[in-house]
């Protein structure tokens, strides 16, 4: 253990985690607490904001105990979080007024369609870099305010705070002293102008979100305040914050254009550093702000988000009972040489990039009498790899140079078969770093750079080391055949739930 120590908080969709990172980038303590998922109606997904906070606190306690450190031993804190999820609370008391509406929640598909019918899609896309989809925070706030006019009135008066999970946790960590969000999270709200780097008044009007309810936005490497002495016994500075996918790109050394990473968690998030050019892709991908924004101005990322990846494995485990643990999918899938023609499209919550169809629903195609659960397991891993491979092809159209290698992380990146399938279907090497905790490391690097623990990006870049490289083994013709078959399968799921 090499001091100083950084606390990296990684508040994810399914769990809250805390990691203690030392000067060498080693993880010397780790705490993790699962988070309850609420599904009040089909297509709705909620979290309890208080539980987001208490699980975070518990995870911090476990991480510190494991490292043998006290809270006061921490030099600084870096925060990273599930993005887009909307949290609304009372400014006076800090009490949440509603459950958090999670990024996966589809309840605002109708609101998105109304905005689209009003001809506003292109204006929204050019200002925010995002597509009109229930995924993003903006329409979740529209929904909350429409459903509670009194809340809307209070929000206009500045009595309500509305933000993403980073804003909520910064507020809680600082005992209500800081109401701040970072640029990367703000760039996922549909309310933030990514070209101007500020909230967009026209979009606030369009989505009926009062400016008085929103936090101030700051670059990821900023001073976000100090922890409350009353709660923690010490004032530790929060010196970095970023949405988890931008943090992961940073943790993967994605400091310059051309580096791409894919995170395999609940969903899959493919991000590529796009440098300082703010061109919105035309191909169903998103333009967002990157964590590397510094004094020279903002840095952009191009992103393709797949909503369901590891969640498909979870579904096979929890709902179908095909496996006992997520890791069991690998030997089961490896017990057969192919899927026997089965293709699974896990459009459980609609489809993200590049189709953006909230009405798509999942399908298992190509079933025959001989299909076993092993074929289904293999088809599940192939679905994760094929959806990402297709996104790489699409992303290449928006990049000056095609992606040459893919850096990977996230809970499902430990799956060797999945990584091999990814290399095969993408046709490029897949590089898995020694530490797949790149999201938390990204937050730690951001915080440590601001606090002066590392003096430059170059110093941080040296901490990234590959653990294993998966080389592509599939011929080009077969690879293209599989991608075409995947596209045919996806097209069968589009619009399914629309009528
Ligand atoms: N060995 C494995 N093979 C495939 N999927 C896995 C494996 N281990 C975990 N997963 C999946 O990875 C996801 C957890 O990854 P994680 O990065 O912790 O997710 P999140 O940050 O979205 O909560 C779960 O959906 C789980 O099913
Ligand atoms: O919590 P994760 O890792 O599933 O990531 C969630 C993403 O930020 C959603 O955009």
**Hey, how many other C-beta atoms are within 10 angstroms of the C-beta on 446?**
33
Nearest to 189 by CA among 271, 289, 111: 289
CA of 379 to the centre of ligand 1 (A): 16
Q: Is the CB of 219 under 6 A from ligand 1?
A: no
Pick the closest to residue 235 from 75, 451, 443 (CA basis). Answer: 75
Residue with CA at minimum distance from ligand 1 atom 2: 327
ipTM: 0.96
Ligand nearest to the backbone CA of 12: 2
13 in a labelled binding site: yes
Best substitution site from 8, 326, 413, 438 to test ligand 1's pocket, by max atoms within 8 Å of Cβ? Answer: 326
Known binding residue 135? Answer is yes
- pTM for the whole thing? 0.91
The low-confidence residues of the chain, meaning pLDDT below 50, are: none
Q: What is the model's pLDDT at position 283? A: 80
pLDDT of residue 297: 67
CA distance 312 to 333: 14
pLDDT for 266: 87
The confidence score (pLDDT) of residue 275 equals 85
Q: Which residues pair with 80 in a beta bridge?
A: 10, 242
Residue 204 confidence (pLDDT): 97
Q: How far is the CA of 372 from the centre of ligand 2 (A)?
A: 31
Residue 277 pLDDT: 79
């Amino acid at each position: 253990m090499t001091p100083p120590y950084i606390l990296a908080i990684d508040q994810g969709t399914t769990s809250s985690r805390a990691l203690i990172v030392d000067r060498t980038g080693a993880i010397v303590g780790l705490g993790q607490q699962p988070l309850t998922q609420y599904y009040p109606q089909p297509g709705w997904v909620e979290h309890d904001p208080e539980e987001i906070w208490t699980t975070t606190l518990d995870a911090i306690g476990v991480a510190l105990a494991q490292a043998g450190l006290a809270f006061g031993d921490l030099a600084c804190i870096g925060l990273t979080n599930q993005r887009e999820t909307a949290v609304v609370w009372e400014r006076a008391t800090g009490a949440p007024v509603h459950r958090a509406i999670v990024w996966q929640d589809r309840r605002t598909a109708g609101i998105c369609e109304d905005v689209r019918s009003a001809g506003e899609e292109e204006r929204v896309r050019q200002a925010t870099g995002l597509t009109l989809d229930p995924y993003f925070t903006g329409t979740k706030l529209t929904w909350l305010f429409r459903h509670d006019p009194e809340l809307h009135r209070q929000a206009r008066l500045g009595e309500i705070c509305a933000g993403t999970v980073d804003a909520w946790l910064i507020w809680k960590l600082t005992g209500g002293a800081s109401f701040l969000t970072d640029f990367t999270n703000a760039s996922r709200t549909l309310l933030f102008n990514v070209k101007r780097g500020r909230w967009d008044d026209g979009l606030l009007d369009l989505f009926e979100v009062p400016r008085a309810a929103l936090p101030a936005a700051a670059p990821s490497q900023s001073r976000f305040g100090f922890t409350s002495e009353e709660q923690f016994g010490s004032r530790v500075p929060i010196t970095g914050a970023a949405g988890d996918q931008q943090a992961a790109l940073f943790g993967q050394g994605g400091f310059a254009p051309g580096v791409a990473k894919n995170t395999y968690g609940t969903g899959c998030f493919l991000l590529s550093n796009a440098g300082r050019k703010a061109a919105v892709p035309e191909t169903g991908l998103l333009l967002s702000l990157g964590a590397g924004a510094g004094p020279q101005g903002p840095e952009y990322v191009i992103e393709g988000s797949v909503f369901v990846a590891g969640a498909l494995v979870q579904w096979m485990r929890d709902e179908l009972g095909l496996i006992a643990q997520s890791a069991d999918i690998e030997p089961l899938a490896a017990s057969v040489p192919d899927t026997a023609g089965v293709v699974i499209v896990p459009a459980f919550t609609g489809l993200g990039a590049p189709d953006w169809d909230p009405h798509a629903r999942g399908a298992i195609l190509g079933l025959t009498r001989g299909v076993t659960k092993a074929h289904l397991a293999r088809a599940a891993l192939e679905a994760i790899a094929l959806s990402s491979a297709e996104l790489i092809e699409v992303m290449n159209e928006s990049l000056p140079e095609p992606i040459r290698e893919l850096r990977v992380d996230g809970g499902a990146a430990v799956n060797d078969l999945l990584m091999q399938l990814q290399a095969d279907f993408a046709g490029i090497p897949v590089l898995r770093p020694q530490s797949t905790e790149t999201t938390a490391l990204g937050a730690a690097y951001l915080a440590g750079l601001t606090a002066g623990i590392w003096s430059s990006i170059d110093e941080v870049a040296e901490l990234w080391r590959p653990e294993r490289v998966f080389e592509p083994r599939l011929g080009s013709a077969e690879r293209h055949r599989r991608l075409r078959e995947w596209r045919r399968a996806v097209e069968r799921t589009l619009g399914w739930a629309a009528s």
